[in-house]
A and B are shown apart, each in its own frame.
Chain A
Amino acid sequence: MPASHTAEHASHDLRHHFADMEQQKETATLGMWLFLVTEVMFFGGMFCAYLLYRLDYYTAWVAGSERMNIYLGTTNTAVLICSSLTMVLAVHFAKLGNRKATAIFLILTIVLGLGFLGIKAVEYHEHWVNHEVPGPNFHFEAPKPGASLQYSPKNVEIFFSLYFAMTGLHAIHMIIGVGLLTWLLVRNARGDFSPYYNSPVEMTGLYWHFVDVVWIYLFPLLYLIRHK
């Protein structure tokens, strides 16, 4: 009975152009990693801009970074790390075929993801109130002559432009991730996943962890420049 059950599962979930489930799974994994490569290059373009301007306008970078809310930033980093843990557990239980535990951890991941976005929104709001959003509304005090940190407020606007571009794009990735997790939750409830077929959970997990890794770099690069 278990053997025939396995075979039935396999034939149902195997797409016609693959020889067996293992080939199908390896194919999905390789495809997902290649997609992550494109994501690395995608964010890479912005890291390139960041590196150039940081070298050119280091003092403005310090001035801009000092306006970051380091406590909210650190909290958000912790939130994202926790969500990675719940994600990895969701994948783990999906592989074991435990639908209930999978659902619980998917929900936890969604909640943590939304929490991250909420905290980010609070930070954005603070920046808006403080006139730190680039554009006509932007205003940044010039340093007093003789102050230890000399910078041009214009250059600080570049810092904030990059800050919003990088964290904004990261937030969009988070929103997409939450959408994917919700879709997984529905499919999990429908009983689509089993120990033989759980690639969507695993692939979404890879994506989620990747978004986490991007933040792990964004955090020190944007929040933690505190010395000239």
Chain B
Amino acid sequence: MASAAITQDEKTNYLNADYGIKSWLLTTDHKRIALLYLISITMFFFLGGFFAMLIRLELLTPAGDLVTSDTYNKLFTMHGIVMVFLFLIPAVPTVLGNFLVPMMIGAKDLAFPKLNLASWYVYMLGGGWVLYAIITGGVDTGWTFYTPYSTTFSNTNVVAAAVGIFIAGFSSIFTGINFIVTIHRMRAPGLTWRRLPLFIWSNYATSVIMVLGTPVLAITLLLVAAERLFHLGIFNAQLGGDPLLFQHLFWFYSHPAVYIMILPGMGVISEVVTCFSRKRVFGYDFVALASICIAVLGFLVWAHHMFVAGISVYAAMVFSLLTFFVAIPSAVKVFNWIATMYQGSISFETPMLYAFGFIGLFTMGGMTGLFLGSLGIDVHVHDTYFVVAHFHYVMVGGMVMAYMCGLHFWWPKITGKMYPEGWAKLSALLTFVGFNLTFFPQFILGYMGMPRRYHAYPPEFQVLNVLSTAGASVLAVGYVLPMIYFVWSLRYGQDAGPNPWRAAGLEWMTSSPPPTSNFETTPVVTWEAYNYDEIDKQQEVPVAS
């Protein structure tokens, strides 16, 4: 045992292959770039969380007493911009995807390693612009930059924020191109499309959306900036410009962007659920195809954000119907995860707890999305806290849960160390409880008619708002705790070994942390994905030789 541990220590891996700040900042190793992303994205997550805390504190009392209404406008705008563009969209693809996509397909790296590094620098540059916009006075348009407010009336740093998001968009585009090409061209011998892990399928679908959607957002924000800077008149209603044109172009990207956020999370859940149920995923083909269906259908529903904005009733009916269609592939996934668990030998390690949380919360988020997709109900609850609760159930309850789930699942692979299981279970529990306490009251608030984006509210809403703020505090503990024990585990955690979960997948067949080139020799795949019955059989049979 001791000798084995020593050889493990002496082995060079991607972390100790090279030292010094330069070896990190100029690296083209996808694993190191993933860690660069992990650090920067965590930073932005806590910045966005800080804004959320201020918002919840303001809403503790009915009077607008902590911040002025102008400051409050800036707070929710910057919370939205930072969380959506600098955390939710890049999080799973650039951290887990960057680390895992090449490993899961048995490649040495992504197809364009330099482009991958460039995408991190571009992301940091975009993030820097946004930070600059925040420090020099903030933005108050809402994260959606609706015209004509953003182009004509707002006196805040709209241009700086728009340029920041424009630049950060290129980082998405680079990642998307890199993943698509890598998945097409770099798969190990024998790794056919139908043997790919579902995480790969979902990242592939995500990349398709990134490549097709992001440029439309980029041009839209560029036009807004040009309108402010050079007096172009494209959205200007005084010249006869159509204010809804901006909303169409904006949501053409920003609705599919919801799927950019959630699809990679779904991929994580597919990996975790199969591993801790010790079963092949139920209906592999359907889950894989559902990812692609979501990517395509996600592009057909954007105008459901505009039902009360004055779009044509006929178009609204079409978009409402299409919105119902997109629920089908999402439901296929949920049902298949549950069918995978059915009669599996389920164990309750931390990643599985997060996965349970995801499935429940995502289902609630998705179902309330159908309420909002129905024309009549949408008119009633539009722009209320019902909407806020709905998308936080999908984004935070869904995507952030999945991200935490993935981090806990692959942390042993990324660092070679185990985190303390007890604390991790506690944090999973706190996150779940805190999340529901924060956002479930908001469904009720919204249904009762409390509008979003106001810093004061009538006193009869106070009880539910206090509950929500209390929940936010619990949620914050649930997010800070993993930060602490992850860092702790780097030094004091037990060695994980190559495959602590006895999981299927190529990434578990190399050492932890992996060597720089991922595999000693290029693997040849002769088995189907999630062959847990075979893996467990091998372990049960006593080793004869």
Contact = CB atoms under 8 A, between A and B. Distances in A.
* A contacts B directly (C-beta below 8 A): yes
Interface of A: 15-17, 19, 23, 26-27, 30-31, 34-35, 37-46, 48-49, 52-53, 56-57, 134-136, 152, 154-155, 157-158, 161-162, 164-165, 169
B240 A17 contact: no
A41 B215 contact: yes
B238 A45 contact: no
Among A26, A43, A157, max chain B CB count under 10 A is at A157
B273 to A, nearest CB: 31
A16 B186 CA distance: 12
B211 A155 contact: no
B173 interface: yes
A47 to B, nearest CB: 10
A134 B231 contact: yes
A38 B166 CA distance: 13
Contact of B220 (A23, A45, A134): A45
Contact of B230 (A44, A53, A134, A157): A134
B175 to A, nearest CB: 12
A96 B232 CA distance: 47
Contacts of A136: 231
B146 interface: no
Contacts of B240: 56-57, 152, 154-155, 158
Given A17-B186, A42-B215, A134 B233 contact: yes
Given A38-B173, A42-B216, A155 B109 contact: no
A30 B184 contact: yes
Contacts, number: 118
Interface stretch (B242-250, B279-287, B315-323, B340-348): B242-250
Interface in B247-282: 248-249, 252
For the complex of A and B, the 3 pairs showing the least CB-CB separation, nearest first, are A135-B231, A42-B215, A45-B219
A52 B235 CA distance: 12
Contacts of B230: 134-135, 164
Nearest to B239: A154
B216 A158 contact: no
Contacts of B223: 45-46, 49, 165
A56 B216 CA distance: 22
A4 B525 CA distance: 33
Contact of A155 (B181, B222, B239, B245): B239
Interface of B: 107-109, 111-113, 115, 173, 176-178, 180-181, 184-186, 211-216, 218-220, 222-223, 226, 230-234, 236, 238-242, 245, 248-249, 252, 517, 522
Nearest to A136: B231
Contact of B249 (A15, A23, A48): A48
A109 B220 CA distance: 31
Contacts of A37: 211-212
24 contacts: A16-B109, A16-B517, A17-B109, A17-B113, A30-B181, A34-B177, A35-B173, A38-B214, A41-B212, A42-B218, A43-B219, A45-B216, A45-B223, A45-B249, A48-B249, A49-B223, A134-B230, A134-B231, A154-B239, A158-B233, A158-B234, A158-B236, A165-B226, A165-B232
Contacts of B115: 31
A33 B111 CA distance: 14
Contacts of B522: 19
Nearest to B241: A158
Given A42-B216, A44-B216, A52 B112 contact: no
Contacts of B176: 34
Contacts of A38: 173, 177, 211-212, 214-215
B157 to A, nearest CB: 21
A161 B234 contact: yes
Contacts of B212: 37-38, 41
Dominant secondary structure of chain B at its interface with chain A? helix
A49 B245 contact: yes
Contacts of A53: 241-242
A30 B111 CA distance: 10
A56 B249 contact: no
A49 B245 CA distance: 7
A34 B248 contact: no
Contacts of A16: 108-109, 517
Among A16, A26, A38, A165, max chain B CB count under 10 A is at A38
A158 B233 CA distance: 5
Contact of B216 (A30, A41, A154, A157): A41
A58 to B, nearest CB: 13
A148 B216 CA distance: 38
A34 to B, nearest CB: 5
B247 to A, nearest CB: 12
Given A57-B240, A155-B240, A42 B219 contact: yes
A16 B107 CA distance: 11
A44 B223 CA distance: 13
A27 B181 contact: yes
Contacts of A31: 111-112, 115, 177-178, 181
Contact of A134 (B108, B178, B232): B232
Contact of B245 (A26, A42, A52): A52
Contacts of B248: 48
Contacts of A15: 113
Nearest to A35: B177
A56 B242 contact: yes
A130 B219 CA distance: 28
Contact of A154 (B112, B219, B238, B245): B238
A134 to B, nearest CB: 5
B180 to A, nearest CB: 6
Contacts of A158: 233-234, 236, 239-241
A19 B522 CA distance: 10
A32 B8 CA distance: 41
A134 B230 CA distance: 8
A157 B233 CA distance: 7
Given A134-B231, A165-B234, A34 B213 contact: no
Contacts of A19: 522
Contacts of A161: 232-234, 239
Contacts of B177: 31, 34-35, 38
Contact of A157 (B178, B211, B239): B239
A167 B99 CA distance: 40
A33 B231 CA distance: 34
Among B173, B218, B241, max chain A CB count under 10 A is at B241
Contacts of A43: 219
Given A17-B113, A31-B178, 20 more contacts: A16-B108, A16-B109, A19-B522, A23-B185, A30-B181, A30-B184, A31-B111, A38-B177, A41-B211, A42-B215, A42-B218, A56-B242, A134-B232, A136-B231, A154-B240, A155-B239, A158-B233, A158-B241, A165-B232, A165-B234
